Structure 1
Amino acid sequence: MRLNQKSQKRARIEIIPLIDCMFLLLVFFIYSMLSMTVHRGIQVNLPASQTGQIERRDYISISITEDERIFLNKQEMSLSTLLDNLKARTEEDPDQPVFINADQTVRYQMIIDVLDKVRTAGLRSVSLATRENPDAP
């Protein structure tokens, strides 16, 4: 008497769900890398610009808050002591770029005073930080 043997299927690994998981991980890591930014200054509300570019290099960050306090790489100082600190940094690297992060409500004269101190210290590469304008065409 012969019994009906059921055909046994070999066990196999379904690869399509694995590919889905890999793509999800890839998207997650790409998104997390794009959201990483390095900012050494104090958080200020930047004005908007349509032609801004991101610089990737060691730099000096000068932040001016809305109440006109000055920070040099997160260290608060007065306008009079800013020049001495900038001169010390100029001796380390005279070609080091300077980024000024000024709140959009800061008086224009305050920004000019800071720019004068930067130029007097001998630093020539100066940039004003802006944020992207969401209303730009």
Structure 2
Amino acid sequence: MAIRKNRRFHPEIPTSSLSDIMFFLFLFFLIISTLANPNVIKLTLPKAQTNETTNKDHISISVTEDKKYYLNKEEVPFDQLEQALYDKTTAANDKTVVVRVPADNKVQDLVDLMQMGVKLKLNFVIATSK
């Protein structure tokens, strides 16, 4: 009497470590994507024929469409903006400030910022896109 044993091969793919690998890849791409674009304040800048680049170590003021003011990516209320700007320019010993105002905003918003620059004797540069 010949008894046959069932020796069929059932291939299996071990997937226990796959979730760990996917988690580490997700973290890696998440960290790299935040480092790739440090300017996270999205603005539609006014257009210009020519552009000049500035050095990376500058002080920037950004104004959003809903009139939130950011000084080097830190939100600052408008009434405290002049003092914060004075503190940053004296600490950095840099008199050049890049102003990023959306193309849709009123001219008065830009004029208010320029008046602060005149009081503090700063050089303002308006950021544009090509």
Match for residue 22 of structure 2? none
Aligned-pair CA distance for 1:40:
4.3
TM-score normalised over the length of structure 2: 0.65
Aligned-pair CA distance for 1:131:
0.4
Match for residue 97 of structure 1? 96
Match for residue 128 of structure 1? 126
TM-score normalised over the length of structure 1: 0.62
Structure 1 residue ranges without an equivalent (≥5): 1-36, 133-137
Q: Which digits, 9 at most, give the CA deviation of each residue in 1:25-54, with x for residues without a partner?
A: xxxxxxxxxxxx875462201111012111
Identity %: 28
Match for residue 5 of structure 1? none
For residues 94 and 38 of structure 1, what CA distance do their matches in structure 2 show?
26
Q: Is the 8 A contact 1:70 1:77 kept in 2?
A: yes
Amino acid at match of 1:96: K
1:1-137 aligned within 5 A: 40=39, 42-123=41-122, 125-132=123-130
Aligned residues between the structures: 96
Q: Which digits, 9 at most, give the CA deviation of each residue in 1:77-129, with x for residues without a partner?
A: 12210011011122224433110010111110011001111222232x21000
Q: Structure 1 residues 111, 71: CA separation in 2 closer, same or farther (over 3 Å shift)?
A: same
Structure 2 residue ranges without an equivalent (≥5): 1-35
Q: Where has structure 1 moved over 6 Å in runs of 4 or more? A: none
- Superposition CA RMSD, Å: 2.1
